[in-house]
Amino acid sequence: MRKIILVLCFFSQTVLSLSEKVISDYEGGYSTLCIEENSVGFNWRDNKWIKTGFIGSKYLVKKISHSELKEWQKKELYDENYLYLDRKDDEFRIMKNYYNIRRFGDELHRFDTVACWEGWDENELTGIDCPKFKFKPDGYFHKSSIHGSLNEKDDYKDSLSVSYGKCSKI
């Protein structure tokens, strides 16, 4: 019985250490699943905003690897300047990379791919800032949905929302 317990303890520690691996590869691709814990906002009804809550969604976020992006470039889907180092101090750097952000279950389309800024501290990824979606691959995320219509008398407007949740590398 003791041997079984020792094996289980060793196995669980190994699994935990693998799941908490720090992302330290600037160029590599990876995926993370982000699940909303709460989403609040407003719906447009009868020419006014009505406060509401939304059902949480799941998002699949995939970092597009440099090799995949180069394939897209060959097909003229992205320009040559897809990656550059914006700022580098002794221990901190900000890099531009591309991420595909879509609802879980949807197919990957290049139109869901956006330029994002990665923050790196001593070769450890500290967070990613994408338009309307900010996240850490194994941590919290924030998402916003804001549109541009400021007309007072529209029959229909897309909802406004702010969401948060947690992401896990997969």
Q: Mind listing the pLDDT tens digit for each residue in 85-113?
A: 555 666 678 888 889 999 999 998 877 88
CB within 8 Å of 19: residues ≥ 6 apart: 138, 168, 169
Q: What SS3 state is found at 153?
A: coil
Cβ proximity of 31 and 60 under 8 Å: yes
**Which value, in Å, is the radius of gyration of the alpha carbons in the chain?**
20
Cβ proximity of 147 and 10 under 8 Å: no
Share of the chain above pLDDT 90, in %: 42
Which ranges of the chain would DSSP assign to H, the alpha helix?
A: 2-19, 66-74
This prediction has a pTM of: 0.74
Residue 5: per-residue pLDDT: 37
